Amino acid sequence: MLGRDRLFIGGAWVDSAGTGTIDVVSPHTEELIGRVPEGTEADIDRAVAAAREAFDHGPWPRMGPAERAEVLGRLSAIYAERQQAMADLVTAEMGSPALFSIFGQAAIPQMVLQYYTDLAASYPWEEERQGMQGPVTVVREPVGVVAAIVPWNVPQFALMLKLAPALIAGCTIVAKPSPETPLDTVLFADWLAEADVPAGVVNIVPGGREVGAHLVAHPGVDKVSFTGSTAAGRQIGEVCGRQLKRVTLELGGKSAAIILEDADLAATVEGFKMASLSNNGQVCAAQTRILAPRSRYDEVADALTAMVGSLTVGDPSSFDTHIGPLVSRRQQERVEGYIRLGQEEGAKVLVGGLNRPHDRGWYVAPTVFGDVTNDMRIAREEIFGPVLALIPYEDEEDAVLIANDSEYGLAGSVWTSDVDHGIEVARRIRTGSCGVNLYGVDPGTPFGGYKNSGLGRELGPEGLEAYLEHKSIPRPA
């Protein structure tokens, strides 16, 4: 049995104020694999108090950036040595295929941690400016106590997007992992203690929506960083707005991949394995609207159908598996509901559909819909599963209009033999990122969305700035 019977608060494992537990069930076997305490509002109060004490009176925000980087360097080294253990754990708790887990669920989180550890040495924490009335020192200081609310699909990556820059900035943190995936944070808490991160700097309380709402509204929290659905993000934004509390929201997406006339179709379709279907399609930036020129529509449909139909669906711990189970029965039923909806809307199932690949486990057949129009719900709403919508377009202008005709603006991609032209098209897409002949997230560059895909940016120097306040100190000439 994986997990712990206590919570990590104030640098120690302590009993929960409640008696509830969170059972973690394997999405592959549907068997119980772990258990942790279910956090309560009283546990949140205790965790915020510990973070508040560590920020207001502890050493962490008073250390220099180089000192904090030294501590995070130890943590990063531990993480680097034990990436496989983290990858295996995330695969077990949420079904991420092993090939994706080692990179997306462990290696990239460690890279983000190391990126911010290294950035501390070159970031301009202070600068001198010549003001209109005399010299001014501009100081960047930590924002305070941070509430980090983490989703289940990439739990370590999403945690590290918040924790790494916040800690380098000098903030303290209360992290609330999703009840679907609390086990990885238990393992990570042990690494925090081993790296001698000071008591109270990081506190972890797993729990559901009520616990998360209490954390967001807590008066002891200075900043909220949330990754999750747009609906939940709106509610969090309203609370933070009323309290004038700093907030970063990384929300949903319905990203479009534009295949231009000159694209190498074999390479493009191969690229969709990662860009569109990684992590079983449970990625906010997944390229799930495939825009094909009408002149090549049948060719694209055949190639996409053949690729998706060839994917191995099964045990996520096997390195031969491309598509594993979805995280929960609820998610399985939700995705299957969208497959039914697509058929009712008049779209054609080219491959996949409602025939479950396995009798046991929360599996959904990877599915491609053809004859999709951009006004269909399967083209407008985030499905969060291995379901792709193939949409024809007339010309390049039409493709850009379709790509931008969305309430979301998180990501996108352009696939072409002419990279320079692909960059020109990417500039016209109203999204926070848009790849050319690939889609990926780089730790050194900002990630976030336009429109209903969120507020603010994570990663890169911009991700660090989200955890800093600017103070001006003028003086006589």
Report domain extents, the chain: 2-251+453-474, 255-442
Q: Which residues, at least 6 apart from 321, have a Cβ–Cβ distance to it below 8 Å?
A: 97, 98, 99, 312, 313, 314, 315
Residue 477 — pLDDT band, cuts 50, 70, 90? Answer: confident
Share of the chain above pLDDT 90, in %: 100
Check residue 4 and give its pLDDT. 94
Residues 438, 275 contacting (CB under 8 angstroms)? yes
* Closest of 353, 394, 347 to residue 370, by C-alpha: 347
The token pair that represents 244 in the structure block = 């004038």
Tell me if 2-251+453-474 shares its fold with 255-442.
no
The token pair that represents 70 in the structure block = 């030294």
The CATH H-level (homologous superfamily) assignment of domain 2-251+453-474 is: Aldehyde Dehydrogenase; Chain A, domain 1 (3.40.605.10)
Phi, psi for 333 (deg, rounded to 5) = -65, -35
* Closest of 445, 384, 356 to residue 153, by C-alpha: 384
Annotated catalytic residue 171? no
pLDDT beyond 90 at 459: yes
Residue 1 — pLDDT band, cuts 50, 70, 90? Answer: confident
Phi, psi for 273 (deg, rounded to 5) = -55, -40
Catalytic residue among 250, 336, 382, 458: 250
Catalytic residue among 38, 171, 240, 284: 284
Annotated catalytic residue 434? no
pLDDT per residue over 391-446, tens digit each? 999 999 999 999 999 999 999 999 999 999 999 999 999 999 999 999 999 999 99
pLDDT beyond 90 at 314: yes
Residues 387, 412 contacting (CB under 8 angstroms)? no
pLDDT beyond 90 at 140: yes
DSSP string, 86-151: HHHHHHHHH---HHHIIIIIIIHHHHHHHHHHHHTTTS-SEEEEE-SSSEEEEEEEE--EEEEE--
Residue the block writes with tokens 């697509």: 342
Region for residue 149 given its phi and psi (left: phi exceeds 0; alpha: psi -120 to 50; beta: otherwise): beta
Query: How does DSSP classify residue 458?
Result: B
pLDDT per residue over 208-217, tens digit each? 999 999 999 9
* Closest of 441, 338, 446 to residue 109, by C-alpha: 441
Residue 206 CB coordination number (10 Å): 30
pLDDT per residue over 99-124, tens digit each? 999 999 999 999 999 999 999 999 99
pLDDT per residue over 189-231, tens digit each? 999 999 999 999 999 999 999 999 999 999 999 999 999 999 9
* Closest of 425, 280, 440, 249 to residue 357, by C-alpha: 280
Residues 286, 275 contacting (CB under 8 angstroms)? yes
Rounded CA separation 275/360 (Å): 27
Burial, 470: exposed, middle or buried (Cβ in 10 Å; 0-12, 13-18, 19+)?
exposed
pLDDT per residue over 59-84, tens digit each? 999 999 999 999 999 999 999 999 99
Q: Identify any residues that bridge with 348 across adjacent strands, giving them in sequence order.
A: 370
Phi, psi for 460 (deg, rounded to 5) = 65, 180
Q: Give the fold, CATH level 3, of 255-442.
A: Aldehyde Dehydrogenase; Chain A, domain 2 (3.40.309)
Rounded CA separation 190/458 (Å): 25
Tell how strand 450-451 and strand 408-409 pair up: antiparallel
Tell if the pTM clears 0.85, that is, is over it: yes
Check residue 106 and give its pLDDT. 98
Q: In the chain, what is the straight-line distance between the N-terminal and C-terminal CA atoms, in Å?
A: 67
